[in-house]
């Protein structure tokens, strides 16, 4: 982090003395430790995924449901030693895994914490839940440490990526990152209904961007076939500053979402999670109250 090149922005700031684009300093900051039941079935097990939500983010999504932590940086600073202990506490709670949510800007510290926790008896799969806007060389640090990669590939369209997340060259960066994740984790492995290794790519379908979603599905299936899992999400909720952007100022329609699901089925995609029912609801947003920190 001196200078910081953790993510594709390569701010090159000395994070000990100054903040870069993501807003993170030298210390780990955590907003919530929880057992999360609303993840894909292969991640939750009996008790839930062992989610750890980190503060700050290297994207600036105008519709972010977690804006209080991603944009505003709410959370508490923790040491590497404390993070390692949190991993072990999640294991004792019966979590299906240790799921690191928006972790990229803390990669070096997290790697150190994983090493400490594994020496002390951590055996749970480590899940890397990110926005896919990552450097391949940073991802290389996770070799042998992370078991399951859970990237949220957001855009194929360059203009949308710039306008809604301030993320230039997003798809090219994300595509390279997902390929690296597949290299590191390999084909998906399911044991007892739970994913223990592999890549599960999420995509949140946005209103007015169903064809963009189809292009992402096309690329994923043509590149990886059924060796990865895809999760198509219909839970878009126009929160934070979404009302200021006409195209994404409303909820997703059933037609928009179903057309993407049907497109995936027509391609022959087999390993795909879809959402049913009313999921665009604020009740599914975690309450960031420093629990477990």
Per-residue pLDDT, 283: 63
Instruction: Indicate the domain borders of the chain.
Output: 29-284
Cα distance from N-terminal residue to C-terminal residue, the chain = 23
Q: Quick one: CATH architecture of 29-284?
A: Alpha-Beta Barrel (3.20)
Query: Using omega within 30 degrees of 0 as the cis cutoff, is the peptide bond preceding 48 cis?
Result: no
Q: What is the 3-state secondary structure (H, E, C) of 139-183?
A: HHCCCCCCCEEEEECCCCCHHHHHHHHCCCCHHHHHHHHHHHHHH
Residue 10 has pLDDT above 90, yes or no: yes
Of 226, 227, 231, 235, the residue nearest 216 (C-alpha) = 231
Q: How confident is the model at residue 280, as a pLDDT?
A: 61
- For the stretch 42-61, pLDDT in tens is 999 999 999 999 999 999 99
Output helix, strand, coil percentages for the chain, rounded to the nearest 5.
Answer: 35, 20, 45
Q: What's this model's pTM, rounded to 2 decimal places?
A: 0.96
Report pLDDT for 282: 64
Structure tokens at 274: 């879809």
Percent of the chain at pLDDT > 70 equals 98
Tokens read off for 31: 């907003």
């Amino acid at each position: 982090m001196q200078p910081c090149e953790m993510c594709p922005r390569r701010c090159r700031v000395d994070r000990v003395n100054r903040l870069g684009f993501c807003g993170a300093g030298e210390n780990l900051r955590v907003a919530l430790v929880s057992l999360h039941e609303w993840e894909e079935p292969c991640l939750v097990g009996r008790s839930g995924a062992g989610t750890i939500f980190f503060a700050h983010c290297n994207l600036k999504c105008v519709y972010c449901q977690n804006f209080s932590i991603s944009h505003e940086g709410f959370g508490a600073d923790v040491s590497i030693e404390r993070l390692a202990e949190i991993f072990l506490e999640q294991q004792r709670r019966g979590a299906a895994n240790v799921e690191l949510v928006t972790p990229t800007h803390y990669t070096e510290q997290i790697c150190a914490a994983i090493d400490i926790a594994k020496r002390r008896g951590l055996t749970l799969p480590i899940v890397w839940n990110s926005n896919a806007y990552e450097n391949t060389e940073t991802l290389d640090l996770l070799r042998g440490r992370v078991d399951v990669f859970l990237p949220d590939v957001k855009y194929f369209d360059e203009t949308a990526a710039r306008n809604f997340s301030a993320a230039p060259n997003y798809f090219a960066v994300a595509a390279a990152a997902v390929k690296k994740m597949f290299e590191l984790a390999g084909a998906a492995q399911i044991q007892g209904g739970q994913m223990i290794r592999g890549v599960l790519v999420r995509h949140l379908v946005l209103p007015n961007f169903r064809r963009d979603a189809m292009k992402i599905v096309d690329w994923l299936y043509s590149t990886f076939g059924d060796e990865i899992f895809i999760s198509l999400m219909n839970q878009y909720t126009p929160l934070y500053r979404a009302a200021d952007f006409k195209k994404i100022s409303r909820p997703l329609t059933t037609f928009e979402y179903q057309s993407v699901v049907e497109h995936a089925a027509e391609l022959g995609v087999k390993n795909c999670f879809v959402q049913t029912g009313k999921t665009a609801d604020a009740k599914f947003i975690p309450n960031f109250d420093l629990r477990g920190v």
